[in-house]
Structure 1
């Protein structure tokens, strides 16, 4: 890795998110993209990126088990901004093999099975999406969960061999929604029904009062396991 992360983080720590994005969108033009799951944070970044560069690249992972509300928002977003978000799907052969091995809902039987499901539906498609990029933009925020508390504004993803940019890492929930309301950004209607974090339909539930924001994701597991693997630090294979 030829970049100095400490220098970059110091340089941009007090910059506006839009300034950070503008700099990276220009310096890595054509080799930078936002990975969107159509959550509130990703919608904020979609709006910012397309205001800076109407040709900015945005992609999503269609796991095949997303809520209908997420697909509706995908369509609404495409129409509002006059774009077509790039869609990456699971490999058919891997998906069929997984069904043969664990059944349709085998992900609930063990953490190992659930991680296999996440690998097939998310990690492998993400690997393909990132393979030609230099910078991966995410909507991660430090306050979302215990597994994200040590993440930085600019990181190096060793497993995928690229820069990982977390522009909203310091934002809180209120700031996200202030931006959405002020700028009339479309959002998933499930957010109004107690779903602050939305993933695959069978792995997501509304949270209860007092629960942390990602408590509704894989709620049958302990908090330290509640990542699909997309944002866990791992060595390059």
Structure 2
């Protein structure tokens, strides 16, 4: 993969053989965010689990204290009073069966998170093949299948993110923007790591946090010393 001049300059700032203390890593990641736009800072956490086994899945959601810096569009599947509640809470789109053909046939995906009341999961299930691969399927563990649509929407708009393992047992999540500064990014990172550590499956053996790295959208990865994370 070819990298541009700015990436190469940023990469010179990072010692790839070093695992940085958390605060040093965040001070450094700001310096590597040199693009003309406000780059997203992401965390990449490799866990000592096997996601092929149901009892070793790590999945959940957490509200970052300073949000992600991104405006999140919320789609809610609900009817009647719950649909009214969703609209009042600031959902961007609210609907029921009427949304099925729009998503399935017209390829409409102008939303970032899907929330559904439990009674609507039969309807939403029909969209599993298109929502699933995009990571948009509502899930009780993530708090997106709920009767309390107001709380779900408020949490998402406030900066709630979902974390889950990919096939290589790594969690990739945004934790803010470069413009947040070290303090806010550290708060968000520590909140995320606390949630992931608490979510450790009892079936997980050996070292749980295998590696942790952060990076700006266009920047190199910066490894963090996992022994200092608790």
Does the TM-score normalized on the shorter chain lie above 0.5?
A: no
**What is the TM-score with the length of structure 2 in the denominator?**
0.29
Bigger Rg over Cα: 2
More helix by percentage = 1
Question: Under a length normalisation based on structure 1, what TM-score does the superposition of the two structures give?
Answer: 0.29
